[in-house]
Amino acid sequence: MSQQFTAALEIVTAKDIMIKTVGIENGIKENDELTKAKKNEAKITENQDKDQSTLVSKPADDSPIIKMSEQNVRADVVVNNKTANGEAGGRQVAKEEQEKKRDPEVKYNEVKSMPKPDKALLKSQFKLFSKHGDKSADGSTIKLNQSDKWFKQAGVIKQKGITNTDTSIAFRKVAKKAIRISFVDWNKYLDEIATTKKMDVNTIKTKLVECGEPGSMKVDKSAALDCLTLTVTAPIKI
């Protein structure tokens, strides 16, 4: 009997141990699942908070705030561009006015085209002025000082406009080290001056043709007409 009782007691004890072990394992599993559930819930809450903060800090592209900001930026750019263009235009106008004051006949970046003068007349003038003051000259070449005298008589060289410095620089470019230049090279010399001073070369040539022979003084028709049309305002004594 005692042996049977002992065996039955051992069986009962083993069953209790198994029940307790299973219970513990189940409890551990439940705790793990509960922990995982809490972690998932925390992640969901964190993601929701991030989404809300993103919406608050970065409004949608089509929101009124973004549209107003873009419009303000565009307006600022347009105003700045207009201001810059206005300042540049003002400087350009001021520069042109300064050039006009320096020489009314030479307008900045504006060249009036004139018809070409008679080449034969220009060459005839060239021969006359190339011989003027130089008995040994044959009229085929001209010196810088002879050309300058011709320019002065024609009114091409003046205080405001083409100067002796301009003619000297252009002459050196064409003549190099030569003292005289031919009629062909002299025309290149005229082109150089006209380009540098932004003038029409035909205007210069026309003045050189119409200035008369060396040493002559050509009378301005308009000035002569003014003299003829003057009215006497002084009282006449009888």
Q: Is 188 helix (H, G, I), strand (E, B) or coil?
A: helix
Q: How confident is the model at residue 120 (pLDDT cuts 50, 70, 90)?
A: very high
What is the reported pLDDT for 235? 46
Q: What confidence tens digit (pLDDT) does each residue in 185-222 have?
A: 999 999 999 999 999 999 999 999 999 999 886 644 44
Compute φ and ψ for 176, nearest 5 degrees.
Answer: 60, -110
Distance CA 135, CA 179 (A): 16
What is each CA distance from 60 to 72, 132, 225, in whole angstroms?
Answer: 17, 88, 82
Q: What is the pLDDT of residue 39?
A: 76
Query: Using 50, 70 and 90 to split pLDDT, how confident is the model at 227?
Result: very low
**And the tokens for 111?**
């060249």
pLDDT digits (tens, 9 = 90+) for 17-59: 666 555 566 666 666 777 777 777 777 777 776 666 654 454 4
**DSSP-H helix ranges across the chain:** 2-57, 64-102, 119-131, 144-154, 164-175, 183-197, 201-210, 221-228
The residues, any chain, with a CB within 8 Å of residue 144's CB and separated by 6 or more, are 167, 168, 171, 175, 179
pLDDT score for 202: 96
Angle ∠(142,164,110) on CA atoms, nearest 5? 105
Contact 17, 24 (CB under 8 A): no
9 compared with 214, residue with greater pLDDT: 214
Q: What is the mean pLDDT of residues 83-87?
A: 59
What is the pLDDT confidence band of residue 149, given thresholds at 50, 70 and 90?
very high
Q: What is the mean pLDDT of residues 79-88?
A: 58
Q: pLDDT value at position 76? A: 61
Q: 157 has which bridge partners?
A: 162
Angle between helices 119-131 and 183-197 (to 10 degrees): 100
- pLDDT, residue 42, reads 75
Q: What is the pLDDT of residue 139?
A: 94
C-alpha pair distances (Å), 108 with each of 16, 96, 98, 102: 116, 6, 9, 10
Provide CB contacts within 8 A for 206, sequence distance 6+: 114, 117
CB atoms within 10 A of CB 153: 20
